Amino acid sequence: MATWSDLKAYVHNRYKVADERDDMMKLIFETDNLRSQVVIIWRLTLAANGSEWIHIESPIGEIGQVDLAALVRTVGNTVVGGLASSGDLVTFRHSVPLADLSIAEFEQPLHLVIGTADLLEQRFTGGDKF
């Protein structure tokens, strides 16, 4: 995959897209125990050099409703991704450059973000809002 159009075509062929805009795709995945997890894939352009990157991002909970200190300590042990925020939400996010992106470099982080965000949401909110 070398372009955002290539990634979008790949995602459309493999997954059901729940929402889409020019620089964003929203997917919803079914996880274990009748849970689901929202994932947003964003296209970004770095101002410094114009290179395109993608964020693979999934919400965990509202900023004021989770124990951020405990969440940071928990996420400190992960290999892929880290904590971020989007509006009033705490998210789990992984970013990769788009130009050299291979299928494995997309699929593996995608599924790690889905699983990690779902576990963190369950552990830190006790619910399944996202």
pLDDT given for residue 105 in this prediction = 85
Residues 6+ apart with CB under 8 A from 11: 17, 25, 27, 41
Task: Evaluate whether 93 touches 71 at the Cβ level (below 8 Å).
Answer: no
Task: Reply yes or no on whether the pLDDT at 94 is more than 90.
Answer: yes
Residues 6+ apart with CB under 8 A from 67: 124
d(CA 21, CA 43): 10
As a residue count, the chain comes to 130
Q: Which residue did the predictor score with more confidence, 101 or 59?
A: 59
CATH 3.30.1460.10 given to domain 4-125:
yes
Q: Which residue did the predictor score with more confidence, 128 or 120?
A: 120
Domain boundaries, the chain: 4-125
d(CA 69, CA 48): 32
Task: Evaluate whether 8 touches 23 at the Cβ level (below 8 Å).
Answer: no
pLDDT level of residue 1 (50, 70, 90 thresholds):
low
Task: Reply yes or no on whether the pLDDT at 23 is more than 80.
Answer: yes
CA distance readout (Å), 127 to 17, 35, 60, 107, 123: 23, 9, 10, 26, 8
Mean pLDDT, the chain, rounded, equals 93
Half-sphere exposure of 52 (CA within 13 A, CB side): 15
pLDDT level of residue 127 (50, 70, 90 thresholds):
confident
